[in-house]
Homo-oligomer: A and B are copies of this chain.
Amino acid sequence: MFYVIGLGLCDEKDITVRGLEAVKSCSRVYLEAYTSILMVQKERLEEFYGKELILADRDMVETESDEILRNADTENIALLVVGDPFGATTHSDIILRARSAKIPVRVIHNASIMNAIGACGLQLYNFGQTVSLVFFTETWKPDSFYDRVKENADLGMHTLVLLDIKVKEQSEENLARGRKIYEPPRYMSIPTAVSQLIEIEEMRKQDILIPEKTLAIAMSRVGGGDEERIVCGTLAELAAHPAEAFGEPLHSLVIVGRRVHHLEIEYGESYAINRESWRNVAQSVYGCSLDS
Contact = CB atoms under 8 A, between A and B. Distances in A.
Interface of A: 6, 8-9, 12-18, 20-21, 84-88, 90, 92-93, 96, 99, 106-112, 114-119, 121, 123-132, 151, 155, 157, 222-223, 225, 263, 266-267, 270
Contacts of A96: 266-267
B92 A6 contact: no
Nearest to A96: B267
A88 B30 CA distance: 32
Copy number of this protein in the oligomer? Answer: 2
Given A125-B130, A129-B155, A129-B157, 15 more contacts: A6-B111, A8-B16, A12-B17, A14-B17, A14-B109, A16-B110, A86-B116, A90-B121, A92-B121, A109-B116, A114-B115, A114-B124, A127-B129, A128-B129, A155-B155
Contacts of A88: 124-125
A140 B84 CA distance: 38
A17 B21 CA distance: 11
A111 B111 contact: yes
